[in-house]
Amino acid sequence: MVEDFYEYESEAEFGKSWELLSSEMKQRFPNRADYVQNRSHVFLQHMDVETFQYDVGRPKKVKNRRLNKDGRQHKTAYEIPVTQVFNSRFGVFTLEQNCYVVKEKGEWRLLWDYQFE
């Protein structure tokens, strides 16, 4: 599922990647069209890239994971490091981010870490 998400993102198929977000993430990005527009603006237009390379690391099982301090507690989640490499008008740079997958209604869904709040 994480591979699918980042494959969609790298192909600028942001509407398809939005579908793979967890319900908690969709609360942060409730409007699919806004998500598509913002992701496209930041990653494609502003940085002037057409695509990016990515590497999905090995999953690590974690217990009692929350999106943030007020978020729903997920008894089991998988932490998966993702590295994105952009060849942009600002040069080549790397973005590393841990993402998490949780099961919702029998389907794996993605969420990001918002523990900074």
Instruction: Tell me the per-residue pLDDT of 32-49, one tens digit each, with 9 for 90 and over.
Output: 999 999 988 887 787 888
The pLDDT of residue 90: 85
Instruction: Tell me the per-residue pLDDT of 12-28, one tens digit each, with 9 for 90 and over.
Output: 999 999 999 999 899 98
How far apart, in whole angstroms, are the C-alpha atoms of residue 62 and residue 24? Answer: 18
Instruction: Tell me the per-residue pLDDT of 75-93, one tens digit each, with 9 for 90 and over.
Output: 889 999 999 998 888 899 8
Mean pLDDT throughout 83-105?
91
How far apart, in whole angstroms, are the C-alpha atoms of residue 80 and residue 97? Answer: 8
Q: Establish how many alpha carbons lie within 13 A of residue 112's alpha carbon, considering only the half-sphere containing its beta carbon.
A: 14
Sign of CA dihedral 104, 53, 42, 117: positive
The pLDDT of residue 117: 47
How far apart, in whole angstroms, are the C-alpha atoms of residue 16 and residue 14? Answer: 5
